[in-house]
Amino acid sequence: MNRKLKNPFDDSHVAVRLIWGSLRFLLFGIVILIFLTGIFLVRARWKEISINSRVTLDEGNPDLGAAERLFLQTLLASKRQELKEPISAGNGMVEFEITAGQNANQIALNLVREGLLLPNKESLMLNYLQFYGLDSQLVAGKFQISPQMDIPTLVGTLVNPTSQDITLIFLEGWRSEQYADYLASVQPAKIDPEQFLAIIRREIPVDVSAFSFLRDLPANASLEGFLFPDTYTISTETDALQLLNIMLQNFDRRFSADMRQNVAAQGMTIPQAVTLAAIVEREAVLPEEQPTIASVFLNRLAQDIKLDADPTIQYAVGYFAANQTWWKAPLSLDDLAIDSPYNTYLHAGLPPGPIANPGLGALQAVARPAETDFLFFVAECQGFAPGSHIFSAAYEQHLQNVENCRE
């Protein structure tokens, strides 16, 4: 009987095929894992940009195909820093008009032509519009655009013509003239900087009787010091008087009842406390030193020692054209002798009114000062703690601290 002999290589071929099949399955699994990991990383990066750039729609336009959505999502994630950058150079608000029938490409091109959008940001804006399905929601109208906007803010403005708000940022320690300079630079539609300044100085009559914290303010005294420094989002229809009232209302909210009680317990009126807080604001570089600096000035006032505060001289000197600043530094000997009621090197007690608009930290420092016996301080000059001061209770020690800085 003929019997076919078994090929000894058959089993090895089977084994090879099994191993190859397993390897292909493993490789396929690895590819799938890499693909899913890529998607996860893209989504993670996109969530990051969503947070940093104030993007709120997580999935984008649902009408986009999966591949197109993933492509745009990846592209925008890689451009996350550019999305947060200003759309162009310059300051101020510029009126931009979209006419009926214009599409997204035409609108973006017009923004570039009018200098409101850098050419290299045109395609990024269009990609952003496409991803969120907003390219079809741009409507005709007139819009207030700032070159300092980022792309999400620009798009949000163009798709919402009823929301014509602008953001104004006023910094702690600015004097009212700096507020006016800032308003002149950003040019909010209805706010005239000169009118705003005239209202603050009470050159234009304004009724502030509704604000109890101004009750002890002398009649027609400047409102310097009470224009609470903060970030304000206002309508472009807001005028100078309305902005002033918004700031005074903010001061009323932020200067708490507890702070008012502490100020009264120290024998000060609110205007006096704000006057001192403005000096503290200008003297302190480090926020944590504000309560200690406040204690120095309060101790000097209690002992009828002149404040000798440089910022009051700077306020009296006014605008220093050579350095284009409202706060001249360094001061000269002639500056220290300037004939002004604000010169605290010549006159004891507080100056006639605030020299700037203090922030919440300086106001809190005056309301709750540190408990010290310090009467003097000088800027730390050894570089151990930039911006800090060396405090002393004895005049001799203060002189030694000053001498150490001269060596």
Q: Quote the pLDDT of residue 52.
A: 43
The angle formed by the CA atoms of residues 140, 145 and 150, to the nearest 5 degrees, is 115
- Tell me 353's DSSP state: S
What's the pLDDT tens digit per position in 206-265? Answer: 999 999 999 999 988 999 999 999 999 888 788 999 999 999 999 999 999 999 999 999
Domain 81-162 belongs to what topology? Answer: Dna Ligase; domain 1 (3.30.1490)
SS3 379: strand
Q: Quote the pLDDT of residue 405.
A: 83
Give yes or no for a contact between 343 and 316, defined as CB atoms under 8 angstroms apart: yes
Give me the residue spans of the domains in the chain.
Answer: 81-162, 167-254, 268-406
Residues whose CB falls within 8 Å of the CB of residue 176, separated by 6 or more in sequence, listed in order: 197, 200, 201, 222, 223, 224, 227, 357
Write the burial class of residue 362 (CB in 10 Å: 0-12 exposed, 13-18 middle, 19+ buried).
Answer: buried
Q: What gap in Å lies between CA 277 and CA 367, rounded to an integer? A: 9
Sign of the dihedral defined by the CA atoms of residues 391, 396, 400, 406, in that order: positive
Q: What gap in Å lies between CA 350 and CA 89, rounded to an integer? A: 43
Q: Quote the pLDDT of residue 51.
A: 40
Q: Which residues of the chain have pLDDT under 50?
A: 1-6, 9, 42, 46-57
Q: Quote the pLDDT of residue 57.
A: 39
Q: Quote the pLDDT of residue 267.
A: 97
Q: Quote the pLDDT of residue 56.
A: 40
Which bin fits 381, alpha (ψ -120 to 50), beta or left (φ > 0)? alpha
Give yes or no for a contact between 198 and 204, defined as CB atoms under 8 angstroms apart: yes
Which runs of consecutive H residues, i.e. helices, occur in 133-239?
151-158, 176-186, 193-200
